Amino acid sequence: MDESAYKQFLDRIKFEQEELREDLKGLPTHEFKRIGDFGCGWGFVTWSLAQEFPTSDCVGVDRFDFEKPPYLFEMGFSLENIQIWYKQKEIEKPISFIQGDIIIGENLPNGLDLIYCKRVMFNIFGDEKKNELSHAINHISQVLKPNGWFCLIEINEPYFKTSLEELLIQVNFEFMPPRCLYRPYRTPEKTYEKYPYLIYQCKKVKQE
Ligand SMILES: C[S@@+](CC[C@H](N)C(=O)[O-])C[C@H]1O[C@@H](n2cnc3c(N)ncnc32)[C@H](O)[C@@H]1O
């Protein structure tokens, strides 16, 4: 990667890290040894997690769908490319990436203390695909440790919010009302207008 692309990357990460700290505020972060970034896209958040938790295992999971890549970089979107790209930057602590599918429940890491999931569930919900959202939430709950945390950052849209909360309750997540705030959507090229977001911190309640 050339110098200017790397600088763009670092600039992008700065904002990501600030948002991450804000999103995890109040959680028992010292307990987070195994961390998953589900629907990691280009792995900006995975990288930020690895910076924030330098002694923890951080794994980015995405279905790496070449047909529908995340629109953050115009580069071939595949597991191989993302691995090469991160390796080139010689980060101190390697982060790993896995090709997995949250809806199908295929190839997901398990025994996680924290799953961070940003701008993914609303995409899955799409045209009111509540079934797919339900599968995704169930699989996330299954791979979290008891008392583990699921932190979600999603667009604040009333119908989606209602469906999401019903599903979180069904799988026994405990959560406070989400924080609502506006955040800009940033790409390396441009900062777009602010969108309304919901931030949930959900705890997987230990089953008796
Ligand atoms: C809008 S991007 C968000 C990327 C990243 N979390 C961020 O905030 O920059 C949504 C990502 O979710 C991934 N995704 C969608 N459905 C998925 C599924 N069923 N399993 C795994 N990843 C999925 C997409 O491939 C895409 O990379």
Rounded CA-CA distance 34/45 in Å is 15
Q: Is 123 in the pocket of ligand 1 (CB under 6 A)?
A: yes
Q: How much is the average pLDDT of 60-75?
A: 71
pLDDT in tens, 169-191: 999 999 999 999 999 877 656 77
pLDDT of 34 over the 80 cut: yes
Chain mean pLDDT for the chain: 87
Q: Give the chain's domains with CATH numbers.
A: 3-204 (3.40.50.150)
> In the numeric block, which tokens belong to residue 17?
């890290």
Q: How much is the average pLDDT of 4-26?
A: 83
User: Please, which pLDDT band fits residue 70 given cuts at 50, 70 and 90?
Assistant: low
Q: For residues 96 and 160, which has the higher predicted lDDT (pLDDT)?
A: 160
Rounded CA-CA distance 200/175 in Å is 7
Q: For residues 11 and 151, which has the higher predicted lDDT (pLDDT)?
A: 151
pLDDT in tens, 109-145: 999 999 999 999 999 998 788 999 999 999 999 999 9
Q: Is 147 in the pocket of ligand 1 (CB under 6 A)?
A: no
Q: Is 43 in the pocket of ligand 1 (CB under 6 A)?
A: no
Task: Specify the pLDDT at position 10.
Answer: 72
Probe target for ligand 1 pocket from 48, 62, 186, with the most ligand atoms within 8 Å of CB = 62
Q: Is 135 in the pocket of ligand 1 (CB under 6 A)?
A: no
Angle ∠(152,54,121) on CA atoms, nearest 5: 15
Angle ∠(156,158,161) on CA atoms, nearest 5: 70
Q: How much is the average pLDDT of 43-60?
A: 89
* Nearest alpha carbon, ligand 1 atom 8: 118
* Nearest alpha carbon, ligand 1 atom 20: 101
User: Please, which pLDDT band fits residue 69 given cuts at 50, 70 and 90?
Assistant: low
Which numbered atom of ligand 1 lies nearest the CA of 132?
19
pTM above threshold 0.85: yes
b vs e for 13-46, b when ≥16 Cβ sit within 10 Å of the residue's Cβ? beebbebbeebbeeeebeebebbbbbbbbbbbbb
Probe target for ligand 1 pocket from 63, 132, 150, with the most ligand atoms within 8 Å of CB = 63
